[in-house]
Amino acid sequence: MGLLVDGQWQDKWYDTDKTGGKFERTTTTFRNWITPDGAPGPDGRSAVQAEAGRYHLYVSLACPWAHRTLIARKLKKLENVISLSIVDDHMGEEGWVFSERPGTIPDTVLGKRRLYEIYLEAEPRYTGRVTVPVLWDKKQGTIVNNESAELIRIFNTGFSAFADNSVDLTPAEHRAAIDAINERVYHTVNNGVYKAGFATTQEAYEEPFHALFETLDALEDRLSSQRYLVASHAPTEADWRLFTTLIRFDPVYHGHFKCNRRRIADYPALFDYMRELYQWPGVAETVNFDHIKGHYYWSHKTINPTGIVPLGPDQDLNRPHRRDSVPFGD
Ligand SMILES: N[C@@H](CCC(=O)N[C@@H](CS)C(=O)NCC(=O)O)C(=O)O
């Protein structure tokens, strides 16, 4: 685990000294869009044009942020359009690396062994964390974007000439509701588990812990009477963004990150909902519990010094999800 400073790799854990024990996520820096014709993106920032075979996605199967992009690529049927590499789940002193271990796919584009070398290829004097996901532009030889929230929007609309456009993860009529849910879920759930897990003072741990379970209780309420997070007839981006945290919750966040007031299995609606999403065509193939558990328990030596990976929990995720009778809410 480490970061690049002016192009030099430094093996360092997160520094929580300056923030009173709190984990603060840094913002990502490669933020260009891809649009069907190369016209600027939704916020006016510059874009490159969508092309089949031009872009390459680097992910970790352990990472919930990267997982969103894998799901969007799968649901939009972009697997033959955007190629893929998968890093080793063990993140050691060189950060994310490529290997031959099960479930990985080497760097077939640049032939690198470490992810930070790809960042350096894009920006030789890069300063910052070296995170997944990363979308690489083979034509311009640089990183287009390394922010998962934007990558899933790029996959949803940018590749309309090549994608399955019958699937829309952010339908216009639900956009405001999706954005509002994303905002709360990001701060208290997706990033909330990290804030609890990486905290280095009791206080810095407790605050996100309470916020997390307050949101999970509210989501349980909503999902008891509505099939998906917004009143749509199919899961939207908001559901997939929540899903990647839910699926890691009982195996990892409950124990490793001390988010243990309840398990997802203790919330009847959330647990059924999570299984429906898991059973959604194509999605189970994007979930790899060996990488998920192996990564967190092995890589975070300040939290789990022995590196022992727990064997449980036993979960039957293929059990019927019982969501068919829940109304869509419109
Ligand atoms: N804002 C980024 C966050 C990505 C992120 O933090 N990824 C983690 C893995 S789950 C990572 O690569 N961490 C390496 C590090 O921080 O050194 C996104 O959503 O794309």
User: In the beta sheet, which residues pair with residue 34?
Assistant: 48
Tell whether 249 is covered by a domain. Answer: yes
Tokens of 83: 């190629």
**Do 126 and 176 lie in a common domain?**
no
Confidence band for 277, pLDDT divided at 50, 70 and 90? very high
Q: Active site includes 297?
A: no
Confidence of residue 156 (pLDDT cuts 50, 70, 90): very high
Q: Are residues 9 and 120 in the same domain?
A: yes
Q: Report the SS3 class of residue 144.
A: strand
- Ligand 1, atom 5: nearest CA belongs to which residue? 131
DSSP 170: S
pLDDT grade, residue 282 (50/70/90)? very high
Shared-domain flag, residues 154 and 237: no
What CATH number is attached to the domain comprising 149? Answer: 3.40.30.10
Average predicted confidence (pLDDT) for the chain: 97
Question: Annotated catalytic residue: which of 58, 119, 126, 194?
Answer: 194
Looking at the fold, whether 151 and 179 belong to one and the same domain comes out as: no
| Contact status, residue 50 vs residue 161, Cβ threshold 8 Å | yes
pLDDT interval class at 312 (50, 70, 90): very high
Domain stop point among 280, 307, 324: 280
Any domain includes 327: no
Q: What is the ipTM of this complex?
A: 0.99
Query: Is the separation of the CB atoms in 27 and 142 below 8 Å?
Result: no
The reported pLDDT for the residue numbered 292 is 98
Q: Are residues 209 and 260 in the same domain?
A: yes
For the chain, what is the domain count? 2
Distance (angstroms) between ligand 1 centre and the Cα of 64 equals: 9
- DSSP 3-state of 8: strand
Residue in this structure with the two tokens 């034509």, named with its chain if needed: 139
**Is 259 noted as a catalytic residue in this protein?**
no
- DSSP E strands, the chain: 3-5, 8-10, 33-35, 47-49, 55-59, 83-86, 128-129, 134-137, 142-145
Q: Are strands 47-49 and 33-35 parallel, antiparallel or unpaired?
A: parallel
Q: Same domain, yes or no, for 123 and 199?
A: no
Burial grade of 308 (CB within 10 A; 0-12, 13-18, 19 or more): exposed
Find the 262 Cα to ligand 1 centroid distance in Å.
26
Q: What is the pLDDT of residue 12?
A: 84
- Residue 168, pLDDT score: 98
| Residue range(s) defining the domain that contains residue 59 | 3-158
316 Cα to the center of ligand 1, angstroms: 29
Distance, CA of 200 to CA of 132 (rounded, Å)? 24
Q: Is residue 183 domain-shared with residue 260, that is, in the same domain?
A: yes
The last residue of one of the domains, among 89, 124, 158, is 158
Domain-located, residue 291: no
Rounded to whole angstroms, the Cα distance separating 60 from 55 reads: 17
Share of the chain above pLDDT 90, in %: 94
Q: Do 152 and 176 fall into the same domain?
A: no
Mutation to probe ligand 1, out of 131, 145, 152, 191 (largest number of atoms < 8 A from CB): 131
pLDDT of residue 187: 98
Same domain as 235, residue 124: no
Tens digits of per-residue pLDDT, 172-219?
A: 999 999 999 999 999 999 999 999 999 999 999 999 999 999 999 999
Residue 311 lies in a domain: no
User: For a substitution probing ligand 1, which of 132, 248, 288 has the most ligand atoms within 8 Å of its CB?
Assistant: 132
**Single-letter code of the amino acid located at 87:** V
Start-to-end CA span in the chain (Å): 46
The pLDDT, as a whole number, for residue 29 is: 86
The pLDDT of residue 14 is above 90? no
Say how far apart CA 34 and CA 47 lie, in whole Å.
Answer: 5
Domain-terminating residue out of 264, 280, 296: 280
Residues lining ligand 1, Cβ inside 6 A: 1, 28, 63, 65, 95, 129-133, 146-149
pLDDT of res. 13? 80
Q: Quick check: is 265 in a domain?
A: yes
> Using one digit for the tens of pLDDT, what is the confidence trace for 213-269?
999 999 999 999 999 999 999 999 999 999 999 999 999 999 999 999 999 999 999
Confidence of residue 15 (pLDDT cuts 50, 70, 90): confident
Whether residues 23 and 67 share a domain: the answer is: yes
Q: 179 and 133: one domain?
A: no
What CATH code is carried by the domain that includes residue 233?
Answer: 1.20.1050.10
Query: How far apart are the CA of 65 and the centre of ligand 1, in A?
Result: 7
CA distance 246 to 244: 6
Phi, psi of 229 (to 5 degrees): -65, -35
* Better-scored residue on pLDDT, 330 or 142: 142
For 236, the token pair is: 């939207």
The confidence score (pLDDT) of residue 26 equals: 80
Asked whether residue 317 is assigned to any structural domain, the reply reads no
Atom of ligand 1 nearest to the CA of 64: 10
Higher pLDDT pick, 17 / 243? 243
User: What's the average model confidence in pLDDT over 272-288?
Assistant: 98
What does the DSSP 8-state code read for residue 267? S
The pLDDT score that the predictor gives to residue 17 is: 83
Residues 146 and 265 in one domain: no
Residue 206 lies in a domain: yes
> How long a stretch of residues is the chain?
330
Answer yes or no: is 130 a known binding residue.
yes
Q: Which run of H or of E encompasses 41?
A: none
Question: In this structure, is residue 252 part of a structural domain?
Answer: yes
> Which one is catalytic: 58, 63, 228, 297?
63
